[in-house]
Amino acid sequence: MAARVKTKRFWIRVALLSGLLYFALVFVFIATQLCDRLCPASLCRIGLFYPVKASSYPILPGTYGSARRMNVSFAAPSGARLQGVFYDLKDASRVVLLCYGQSGNIGINAGLLKAVLDSGCSVFAYDYEGYGMSTGTPSPSRVIEDGVAAYDYLSGPLGVEPSRIVEMGVSLGTGIASRVAEQRAPQSLVLISPYVSLRRLAREKLPFLRLYGDGDFPAPDLSAGEFFAKNSEVPVLMLHGELDPIIPAGDSRDLFAMSRSPCRLVMANDAHHCDFSLDFITGELKSFFDLLDRGRLESKTSVASGL
């Protein structure tokens, strides 16, 4: 009788331990899957790029003022075919190469083209891989390669001297524009709502990502900080809204503090994320280029502005 009781207790313990082991394995499996899904690389694939495809571009007319539009197509290093538009403004001394934000396509960002043209510059805009009518799939490395390919197409087949090219980035595009400026030598750089580092921004927005090391994040980092750390010659204009809930205004201030080249920072008191009026952008571009032309851009200038 005693032996039966002991045997029964033994098997009960075995069953309990087996159950505990099973639930432990299930927990480890779920935790592993969750960590894989929430790791920076996975989050990048899911939420960094929001391309909007298009079969045509409902943008500015073929002729805007004295600017004539040219539709262009060129190859990316990945083999993707990138589509773009070039508005060549007669007698313009500068050509702005536009890198827009994480969402949309050229057509959705047509207002930025208008703001640039109204400032007296020609403008070249293109769609990243997977955006608009461009083929391919975007990734951090590929969108940088796309930006360099656009610069080389502008300075090559389109015949624009590098001394006339202005890199311009908006939001996520500020990281792309800055990375292109690292590899090429634009006349100047314009950043609207920039950030220091994508890793830093991700950790600020999602604190649990601080558990991951830098090597767990997608490489290369779409950052402006590395350009600012190296640059001592290219003049920079930055616009940022004090009320920006997406990219903190402090990022622009930190970049401004890092700058070793002539740099103008304009902080808009009442602006949120990239909600500047087109007239405001046009006016700031005009002021910046006028200061450059007259040799009056100080090494560092910070300006508070109302919209």
Tens digit of pLDDT for each residue in 92-138?
999 999 999 999 999 999 999 999 999 999 999 999 999 999 999 99
What's the CA dihedral at 26, 30, 36, 42 to 10 degrees?
A: 150
Question: 34 pLDDT exceeds 50?
Answer: no
Mean pLDDT, the chain, integer: 86
**Bridge pairing between strands 263-268 and 236-241:** parallel
Closest of 93, 275, 262, 269 to residue 189, by C-alpha: 262
* Integer CA distances (angstroms), 24 to 18, 20, 27, 33, 271, in order: 10, 6, 5, 14, 50
What one-letter code names the amino acid at 172? L
**Percent of the chain scoring above 90 in pLDDT:** 67
Instruction: Give the pLDDT score at 210.
Output: 78
Residues 6+ apart with CB under 8 A from 192: 168, 169, 170, 171, 174, 238, 239, 240, 274, 276, 281
Cβ neighbourhood burial of 278 (10 Å; 0-12, 13-18, 19+) = middle
Mean pLDDT, residues 209-218 taken together: 78
Q: What is the pTM of this model?
A: 0.85
Q: What pLDDT sits at residue 179?
A: 97
Q: What is the pLDDT of residues 217-276, one digit of tens each?
A: 777 888 999 999 999 999 999 999 999 999 999 999 999 999 999 999 999 999 999 999
